[in-house]
Structure 1
Amino acid sequence: MNTFMDKIKYFIGVQDLEEEERYEEEYSDYDDDYDTVVPTKTKKLNNKVVNIHTNSNMKIVVHEPLSYDEAPSIIDDLKARKTVIVNLEQLDNGIKRQIFDFISGGLYAMEGNIQKVTKDIFIFAPSNVEIDGLKEELKNRGLFSW
């Protein structure tokens, strides 16, 4: 066994410490109990995530807000992927502008579409609905005069 003085001598470099006997058990890296694993070919799939919102029951909601407080409910319908027709004819010009700005800002964040029907009636559609503009055809028939 090494004494304190032997350790100091070893630290200074005068004497080597006696190595303690070490007992090591022999072991094998290979165990016969396990079967050999055969590598198989894996097919790398090119997974692309695509957001598809299919809705067989598409709804159109008509809103005729009388105050600015009703604007968030319109955005809620758009978030539920419903097409919204908004009639702003009953409102003063200042409130019309505020409601329109609020709805169009929310719709912009959802990447939706806006289509003007008349001076104060608009169609707001979420991104899953495409508004096909047949404005010229309707104008030629005299249905809308904008």
Structure 2
Amino acid sequence: MSDLMNKFKYFIGIDDYDEEENESEEQYQDESFDMPIATKTRNINNKVVNIHTNTNMKIIVHEPLSYEEAPSIVNDLKSRKVIIINFEQLDSNLKRQIFDFMNGALYAMEGKIQKVTKDIFILAPSNVEIDGLKDELKSKGIFPW
């Protein structure tokens, strides 16, 4: 700031400008202050969850016997719980109705579904990633479930 005042005084003719004093100040400033170089960072959408977090993940097993149980299953999905649903005890018409209801709810919540067997499915909310290892093994012909 004083350097600016000295230059201004010299410009209007009030004071003599001292070159030697100005050079030593500029050298001192150049030695001590280096501007950091900005680096680009990428924001990677990673769904890896730290296993040491304090949040409790729950997996709920549902074996619905009637269509009236479907909303309670969706409520568990809305509270971000992983659901394993077993349709083995249902007739095909009721199974289709509940399955369609679950698929609509999963679509609305951007959830995921994975078939385990003919009548058992895993339903996961959007914050849970279902590993696609089974799909990879099936495509390679190792385990054709």
- TM-score normalised to the size of structure 2? 0.58
Aligned partners of 2:130, 2:82: CA distance in 1, in Å? 10
- Which runs of no fewer than 5 residues in structure 1 stay unpaired? 1-53
**Considering only CA atoms, is the larger Rg found in Structure 1 or Structure 2?**
1
Runs of 4+ in 1 over 2 A off after TM superposition: 136-140
What's the offset of the Cα at 1:61? Answer: 0.3
* Secondary structure, aligned partner of 1:111: coil
Trace 1:78-117 onto structure 2 (pairs within 5 A): 78-117=77-116
- Which runs of no fewer than 5 residues in structure 2 stay unpaired? 1-52
Aligned counterpart, 2:75: 76
Aligned partners of 1:123, 1:83: CA distance in 2, in Å? 7
Aligned counterpart, 1:120: 119
* Secondary structure, aligned partner of 1:65: coil
Trace 1:38-49 onto structure 2 (pairs within 5 A): none
- Sort the Cα spacing of 1:55 and 1:74 in 2 relative to 1 into closer, same or farther, 3 A: farther
- TM-score normalised to the size of structure 1? 0.57
Aligned partners of 1:72, 1:55: CA distance in 2, in Å? 28
Cα RMSD between the aligned structures? 1.8
Aligned counterpart, 1:58: 57
Alpha-carbon deviations, 1:4-59, whole Å to 9, x = none?
A: xxxxxxxxxxxxxxxxxxxxxxxxxxxxxxxxxxxxxxxxxxxxxxxxxx872111
Paired positions, count: 90
